Amino acid sequence: MPTINPMAWRLQISGTFLVIGLLIEAICLLSAKPIAFVLLVAIGGLFLFAGVTVYLFSIVSTPRS
């Protein structure tokens, strides 16, 4: 089993958060109920924020070679 470096692992995690956030927002856009907007902003936005934060953290915290 190949080992994965920490930066690649963090980038995979951030990509997963972003995809989940976008899927939640896409599903919420199909509904016209008021709770859909709350889910769109709260849960979808939280996943997008987490994805961007992990991505930026992985770029900043990479050790120099």
The pTM of this model reads 0.81
At 3, the pLDDT band (50, 70, 90 cuts) reads: low
Name the residue among 25, 18, 23 with its Cα closest to residue 47. Answer: 18
Tell me the per-residue pLDDT of 13-63, one tens digit each, with 9 for 90 and over.
999 999 999 998 888 888 878 887 887 788 888 999 999 999 999 989 867
What are the extents of the domains in the chain? Answer: 17-56
Question: Can you give the pLDDT at residue 32?
Answer: 78
pLDDT of 1 higher than 60: no
How many Cα neighbours within 13 Å face the side chain of 54?
19
